[in-house]
Amino acid sequence: MEELKPIRSALISVYHKDRVDEIARRLFELGITLYSTGGTYDFIAALGIPVQTVESLTSYPSILGGRVKTLHPKVFGGILYRRDNPEDRNQLEQYDIPGIDLVIVDLYPFEATVSSGASRDDIIEKIDIGGISLIRAAAKNFEDVVIVPSSDQYDRIINLLEDKKGFTTLEDRLYFAAQAFNVSSHYDTAIFNYFNRDTGIKAFKKSILNSEEMRYGENPHQQAVYFGDASESFEQLNGKAISYNNLVDLDSAISLIGEFEEPAFVIIKHTNACGVAVRPKLIHAWQDALAGDPLSAYGGVLATNRPIDPETAEEINKLFFEILLAPAFEKNALEILKSKKNRIILQHKPTDFQAKQFKSILNGVLEQGRDTQTESPADLHVVTKTSPDNQQVKDLIFANIIVKHLKSNAIVLAKNGQLLGAGCGMTSRVDALKHAIAKSQEFGFSLEGAVMASDAFFPFADSVEIASKAGIKAVIQPGGSVRDDDSIRYCNEHGVSMTITGTRHFRH
């Protein structure tokens, strides 16, 4: 049977005092000697619970405006001494150092202070020194000492004190030690990233404490965990648990719908848009987005940038879909959509995505800046004799937004604010174009007068030739091919306008 070790004394030094009263009372009931510092001491003493100051232990006051309180051999010796080591025990007796078996610490709120926009001086003062040292010391000596490194562990320590009456097992102490290094490493990472904003040291240091275990990953045989807080991006109003693939698709949907200012609807399938439309009235945006590819829309992820009204909800309700994301829902609309209990309904919250993106590659990590470039009419450089008219310019911008969010190679065909056909994830640009044309024809669209957007340059004139013969009258592309002149020449000979943006939008 695993050996139980008693807690005879505890040091409590916390920034936030929530629930400290519960813990202190339970420790007192168990006859455990309490030591504390500053405001924590005042808080516990006010409860009428016997508690000793750390200053009475060390014979030194808190100095340097509170920067030095617990950094003393009489504190760290009591934590770090090895109970089964005779020499350690002799030294504790020699220097009159009491043992400390439980350490409860709540670090200064460094991240919250940074997020608040506080001054540099205030931020620096929230770099905890004593607390982080106590955490590391107690965790290092987990064979004998229990460390509670944050308020997130209060439930567990309270339950442990109740169940084991002030005793702990090695398994208990090892768990708390692991949590302690989780907290301390996260804290140090946050501090490094703050300082590194100005220094530019090339190091990959990211830490996320929040996690949610997924039922499985992309496929049932793959395990998966989401690290982050999805509730920052949306509130779930209905439906089953969100899956790994759902989250991936939602990331794409939120990124794309955020590009549009007019009322818009997007339909995402396997991270790619299969239906997009902008219209003055939301129900028409939905109907035209769905018309773009009603076959692929089945089981898709839907997103809009306007509140859902009952009329639109009735139309959406006719389709089987996985997820609907919108900024708001009128009451009657929500009741209509909640008619299917597994259907995931999400209320979108304004989301600022981090500036960097990361991808796991070859046992390493690739980091890049997020593609935040979105072209406007001012970015369009007409290189042909024919210029696009006002409606075509709007459609070119619309198509270029969509193609930016598709897997490369990607082509988008659009007209009057509606996606008519898309080809994406193709190994050649010509194949992407042919697929887009085939899609548009499959669902009865005429491409006469439509526009084409390409995520990268045309290496040959074949794509513009195929597009022109299908009815395309305006083209937008980044340019940069050594054969750009071939494509421009063909457009000039066949009355097609071409604009070049100078910005490629590959997506792999």
What residues are labeled active site? Answer: 140, 270
Return all residues near 387 (Cβ < 8 A) that are at least 6 apart: 497
- Specify which residues 454 forms β-bridges with: 411
52 φ, ψ to 5°? -105, 145
> Which tokens hold the place of 310?
């009952």
From residue 374, how far is each of 230, 247, 304, 342, 398 by CA, in Å? 25, 24, 19, 36, 10
Give the torsion through C-alpha atoms of 307, 310, 312, 318, to 10 deg.
Answer: 130
Please tell me the distance from the alpha carbon of residue 395 to that of residue 113, in angstroms, as a whole number. 45
Helix 462-470 vs helix 429-442: crossing angle, to nearest 10: 10
Task: Provide the phi-psi class of 483: left if phi over 0, else alpha when psi is between -120 and 50, else beta.
Answer: alpha
Q: Which residue has the tokens 């044309």?
A: 437
3-class secondary-structure state, position 17: coil
Closest CA to 134 of 200, 29, 64, 37: 37
Closest CA to 187 of 212, 163, 167, 205: 205
**H helix or E strand, kind and range, residue 22:** helix 20-29
3-class secondary-structure state, position 281: coil
End-to-end CA distance of the chain: 55
Closest CA to 185 of 208, 215, 158: 208
Burial class (CB in 10 A: 0-12, 13-18, 19+), 379: middle
Closest CA to 139 of 182, 177, 184, 82: 177
Return all residues near 489 (Cβ < 8 A) that are at least 6 apart: 461
From residue 274, how far is each of 98, 134, 447 by CA, in Å? 69, 55, 17
Contact indicator for 232, 273 with CB cutoff of 8 Å = no
From residue 300, how far is each of 290, 319, 504 by CA, in Å? 11, 9, 28
How many residues comprise the chain?
Answer: 508
193 φ, ψ to 5°? -65, -30
Residues 164, 165, 168: CA angle, nearest 5 degrees: 50
- Specify which residues 304 forms β-bridges with: 265
Please tell me the distance from the alpha carbon of residue 203 to that of residue 480, in angstroms, as a whole number. 33
